[in-house]
Structure 1
Amino acid sequence: MIGQLIFAVCFLGALFFFGKNARQIYSNIKLGRDLDRSDRASERWKTMFLVALGQKKMFKRIIPAILHLFVYLGFVIINIEMLEIIIDGLFGTHRVFSFLGGFYNFLIGSFEWLALGVLLSCVIFLIRRNVVKVTRLNSKELNNWPKTDANIILITEILLMSAFLLMNATDLKLQLYGFEHFNAVGSFPVSHYLLPYLPTSTTTLYMIERFCWWFHILGVLAFLNYLPYSKHLHIVLAFPNTYFSNLDAKGKLSNMTAVTNEVKAMLDPSFTPPSSDATARFGAKDVQDLTWKSLLDAYTCTECGRCTSSCPANITGKLLSPRKIMMDTRDRLAEVGNNIKTNGSFVEDGKSLIDTYISREELWACTSCNACVEQCPVNINPLDIIIELRRFAVMEESQAPASINNMFGNIENNGAPWKYAQMDRANWTQQQ
């Protein structure tokens, strides 16, 4: 009973703290401006199943895609076994689903092969990050905590899968010895290879089995509460993020309601703009000015770097990194959320997303080509954030690079980005 009570306290405590952190993240995302993404439901479900569940966009890079698929399937399917562990922990049973007979053997056997796949894939991922040093996984924005975070997760998954296989191996050996309630159940196609290396003492075997069982379940519960502080939150948020994807053409920019209403008022004197337009900010200075979808994007970012490695500005040595844009947005959002949580409402801290976190040089290096949007495996859109920050710089502060201002002047005076008068545009057709 003591073990069951300890388990119940750990299990309920883990759920409580995860729920608390999840509510904080939800509150932070709700700080963003409203955006209607409730249309075209069938197309949204299809996108979610193909991109989040089917990992369609991952397979643009086949080797990491296959490795990630092993980890993904292992994470999802092996955790079905968590239901049995939870029941066993709460009620003091052992392998409560063993009554399923042959199907149970199939499940345990499948879990073992998946666990081995997860273990090997995570080892390869560790080698790629820390030995091979793949460029996109070792950029400067990943220095310190982001790189440590990735390694912590990979090592944790290796330890959890190792504990799972060792737990099964000791369980099998105790079954063979006919020890207490360890009845002959399950199929162990991988862990049975560990039998020759295990001790022969049933007491020692039982202690190892119990240690691995507790390590596995407590490790999973700890992992659950680590997610809100980690890039691996995409395990959960990839599904809503892909469901609420922008289904319009990638090159289509959103109109600003306040500007649209102003134009309507100019063309139609009888039109009265809403009173909210008077206080509306053009573009975004801070995270509260972005849409909730952009804030959801920030929390969903996997930090994989596919966006940055495909960005033409970054490739040519410019400062812009779409991955850094998302990481900066998430960091600033967490800071603003903590500010509100501490003070009850936002207290001005002298910081903003633009300038404090994201520089003007980064913003204006973007070519708006949408390569980052195309490459992201979970349909994140860094360009939306860049465009909104640019709009603020131009329309609120009248600050833009000289080349941009020259273009604006040409459009105003000549109706085109070039300095030539409209009447001279066709001169090139005249023969000399």
Structure 2
Amino acid sequence: MNYIPNILFAIILIAGVGFFTKNVKKLIRNIKLGHDVDVSDNTSQRWKNMAMIALGQSKMVVRPVSGFLHIIVYLGFIIINIEVVEIILDGLFSGILYDDHRLFMSILPAPLYGFLIGTFEILGLLVFVAVIVFWIRRNIIRIKRFWSSEMTSWPKNDANNILYIEMVLMLLFLLMNATDLRFQAMDNGNVISQYLTPLFSGFSESTIHYIERGAWWLHIIGILGFLNYLYFSKHLHILLAFPNTYFGKVKPKGEFDNLEAVTNEVKMMMDPNVDPFAAQPENTDAPAKFGASDVQDLSWVQLLNAYTCTECGRCTSECPANRTGKKLSPRKIMMDTRDRLEEVGRNIDTNNGVFKEDGKQLLDDYITREELWACTTCNACVEACPVSIDPMSIIMDMRRYLVMEQSAAPLELNNMMANIENNGAPWPYNQMDRLNWKNEN
């Protein structure tokens, strides 16, 4: 009978980790729906980017207030979760391999354990305060980028859900320590929770013990629940920011990727030794489709980008097209890509691992042509993203599809390309007439 709590804990832990593993496998499968791309170049620069951007939060602090608060929450959760290791070990082995919980208290020197608990509690309080400030910024100050048109009910609720979960987890952690102070001497480790102990001064020891055990169970269940909530949340970036910054673009931001098949054809056209009237060999390098009309046409790095999007809106707030009233929102591009990818994933699940044509695609059903052609390709969105997401690459691939597969470029662009082909310049003037302006005095 004494082992029932350990067995129950093991079942909850296995279920939580198992469900998380299932979601991770689904996530990897969906990302692999994209075509392959070579990201083996510039390894040292990629490691540096991951260290500076994902670990060092270098792009977050460009906006000092939100950046500083984010660092507090980020560091707080990482360091506080060291306590989770002790909770897991206690849940599995307390009462079996040792008599009481708080395994590390019996292993570590008392001053060191007290120092760790004190550090955790200070960070827990700072995280709680930072999360409240985030909630105020989002819901009371109502910062504009959090209330754009693409931020519908779920994105807004999701952001608030995360904040509520973080508040509750921090409170449970402090409550657990405050009630356990009656039974454990942690050498001044309860630097914050000691101020909560007067709330329980009139309670019996058994009642306080039940409160402590309840807070302990709710804390670990909450952490496992939060872990599994990540897949459905914008906070998936907690896990994906590291690979995303590693695999992010390392070439100059203004450099576009050229299609090898097109490049070879242009080189052949410019080769004076090639007979333009001779039958040309079949181009085996040409892809099955130029550009992208659906998520399967994008690269796996672009799909990883979509899942990593934090929905913070920094890209959209910096986009000159959006700021001048155009329909384009780089954040919406990423959210639409993720939504379509999730829809394709559910289709595969329903049809026993095979995608069944559903009559939909990313182009037109999610992202409109008006949005695509509003982009100025200035790279402001790419520069602003705190986790190295590249919305512009998706826009350019979808534009490429419109131009090369559907000949559906805007009239102005078609005229420009015709002028380049006929006159060697984007203007409608014959090359022989280019210098006529000199005589117009």
Provide the residue aligned with 1:363 in structure 2.
372
**2:5 matched residue in structure 1:** 3
Deviations 1:125-176 (CA, angstroms, capped at 9, x unpaired) = 111111110000111111110100000000000000000011111111x13x
The equivalent residue for 2:39 is 37
Structure-1 separation of matches of 2:217 and 2:187: 20
Whole-Å separation in 1 of the counterparts to 2:282 and 2:81: 54
Q: CA contact under 8 A between 1:339 and 1:347: conserved in structure 2?
A: yes
The answer (yes or no) to whether the contact 1:261–1:273 under 8 Å persists in 2 is no
Return the letter of the residue paired with 1:236: L
Residues 184, 327 of structure 1: alpha-carbon distance in 2 compared, 3 angstrom cutoff: closer
Residue 85 of structure 1: how far off its partner (Å): 0.5
> Which whole-Å deviations, capped at 9, do the CAs of 1:6-59 have from their partners, x for residues lacking one?
110011111111111000010010010110111221111110000000010011
The aligned counterpart of 1:214 is 217
Q: Is the 8 A contact 2:90 2:103 kept in 1?
A: yes
Asked if structure 2 preserves the Cα contact closer than 8 Å seen for 1:164 and 1:213, the reply is: yes
Partner of 2:97: none
* 1:140 partner SS: coil
Q: What amino acid maps onto 2:78 in structure 1?
A: V
Corresponding residue to 1:145 among 146, 150, 154: 154
Report the Cα offset of residue 271 of structure 1: 8.9
CA distance in 2, matches of 1:263, 1:427: 31
Contact 1:112 1:165 in 2 (8 A): yes
Aligned-residue offset at 1:243: 0.4
Match of 1:315 in 2: 323
Q: Unaligned regions of 5+ residues in structure 1, if any?
A: 176-181
- Root mean square deviation of aligned Cα: 1.7
Equivalent residue for 1:291? 299
> What is the letter of the counterpart of residue 432 of structure 2?
M
Q: Once the 2 structures are TM-superposed, how far is the Cα of residue 337 of structure 1 from its aligned partner? A: 1.3
C-alpha distance in 1, partners of 2:127/2:40? Answer: 36
CA distance in 1, matches of 2:167, 2:433: 69
Residue in structure 2 matched with residue 22 of structure 1 by the alignment: 24
- State the match for 2:428 in structure 1: 419
1:114 and 2:116 matched:
no
TM-score (norm 2): 0.93
Work out the CA distance in 2 between the residues paired with 1:250 and 1:209.
53
Q: Does residue 334 of structure 1 match 2:336?
A: no
* Runs of at least 5 residues in structure 2 that lack an aligned partner in the other structure: 95-99
Q: Relative to 1, partners in 2 of residues 1:184 and 1:368: Cα closer, same or farther, differing over 3 Å?
A: closer
Amino acid at match of 1:79: N
Task: Find the residue that maps to 1:56 and give its secondary structure.
Answer: coil
Distance 2:283 2:354 in 1: 26
Corresponding residue of 1:105: 114
Separation in 1 of the partners of 2:208 and 2:304?
47
- The answer to whether the Cα contact below 8 Å between 1:311 and 1:372 also exists between their aligned partners in 2 is yes
Deviations 1:82-103 (A, max 9, x none): 1000000001241111131222
Matches of 1:91 and 1:312, distance apart in 2? 58
CA drift of 1:374 comes to 0.2
Asked if residue 325 in structure 1 is aligned to residue 328 in structure 2, the reply is no
Decide which structure has greater helix share.
Answer: 1
The one-letter code sitting in structure 2 at the alignment partner of 1:129 is R
Contact 2:46 / 2:248 at 8 angstroms: preserved in 1? yes
Q: Which amino acid in 2 is paired with 1:26? A: I
Q: Say if 1:262 and 1:273, in contact at 8 Å, map to a contact too.
A: no
Does structure 1 residue 226 correspond to structure 2 residue 229?
yes
Letter in 1 for 2:246: Y
In 1, are the aligned partners of 2:89 and 2:103 still within 8 Å (CA)? yes
Distance 2:285 2:210 in 1: 67
Give, as a single letter, the amino acid of the residue that structure 1 aligns with 2:293: K
Q: How many residues align?
A: 424
Matches within 5 A, 1:133-282: 133-172=142-181, 174-175=182-183, 182-184=184-186, 187-199=189-201, 200-263=203-266, 267=271, 275=284, 277=286, 280-282=288-290
Instruction: Quote how far apart the aligned CAs of 1:249 are.
Output: 0.4
C-alpha contact (below 8 Å) 2:113/2:186 kept by paired residues? no
Amino acid aligned to 1:94: H
Amino acid at match of 1:216: H
State the distance in 2 between where 1:4 and 1:20 align.
Answer: 24
* TM-score, length-scaled by structure 1: 0.95
Q: Which residue of 2 aligns with 1:178?
A: none
Cα deviation 1:41-84 (Å, max 9, x = unaligned): 11111100000000100111000001111110111111111100
Moved more, 228-237 or 421-430: 421-430
